[in-house]
Structure 1
């Protein structure tokens, strides 16, 4: 039987799933379904982002993005507008009403960050960030090849 080279990705995956599960439970009261908070925050932080750009940013397929965006539109959280230059592209914009919800989501993210980094020094926090960022950058090109997205 082949032996796993490292358990790092399993730990990162467990951490990510745990945070998402906690967040999903908290955001139900905001009418956000499973994982929608990620789409909502990125649209608020990048007004005018296209569906493809959002998919690339979040590393999800276009179908997942389309479904999440449709649900957020149905809740009145975002608007979708055709690009002025290229009518095939839709741009996503947060509605004015969504920023209170956005602030609640960011407060929850900050709470999770505080819990995760309990007893970490500033230097340790910085090292963790740089190492995870480097891992993400290493895998990005592989993801782009597999998805074959064009921005």
Structure 2
């Protein structure tokens, strides 16, 4: 392998994450503009979407699902509740736990968010075959599972050790 091929091989893993990041930022930017009329703050559509998909979810499960810390989720939940998109109710059998449900306004907003998501999926996946889409899903899930180990470790206060990958 010559030097330019070696350099390309070393850059390819970074390119995968760069591409994933660019796709995520494009979709997030579009969504933040598209959902302004709903009076949703940046990123709140993610929380509302997951609550509508999982009525009765508890805040810790929601944070885990979205991959954010509990404090960030708590702020978003409080804002969604104060804006009338969701309600918090005591959980049956455990009054200390709260469960989250969408309101009528939340469900109405969710329907618009859901339609936008379908459109974004169609645009993003345009030109890919079903097999390519399934392969992409499998590969992305494997990558997510790989990084979730570190995410959970760091979330609990751990620090990753970095080794020189050139060896």
After TM superposition, the score normalised by the length of structure 2 is 0.82
Structure-1 separation of matches of 2:128 and 2:143? 20
Match of 1:116 in 2: 124
Match of 1:104 in 2: 112
Quote the RMSD (CA, aligned, Å). Answer: 1.8
1:90-139 Cα deviation digits (max 9, x unpaired): 11111123222111101111111111111111111111111111111111
Q: 1:88 is paired with a residue of what secondary structure?
A: strand
Match of 1:35 in 2: 43
After TM superposition, the score normalised by the length of structure 1 is 0.91
Deviation at 1:5, TM superposition (A): 5.8
CA spacing shift, 1:5–1:122, aligned 2, 3 Å:
closer
Q: Which runs of 4+ in 1 moved over 4 A?
A: none
**Number of aligned residue pairs:** 148
Structure number, greater radius of gyration: 2
Structure-1 separation of matches of 2:66 and 2:51? 11
1:71 aligned to which of 75, 79, 84 = 79
1:133 aligned to which of 98, 123, 141 = 141
Q: 2:95 is paired with a residue of what secondary structure?
A: coil
CA spacing shift, 1:147–1:85, aligned 2, 3 Å:
farther
Q: Which runs of 5 or more residues in structure 2 are unaligned?
A: 1-9, 157-167
Q: Which runs of 5 or more residues in structure 1 are unaligned?
A: none
Match of 2:60 in 1: 52
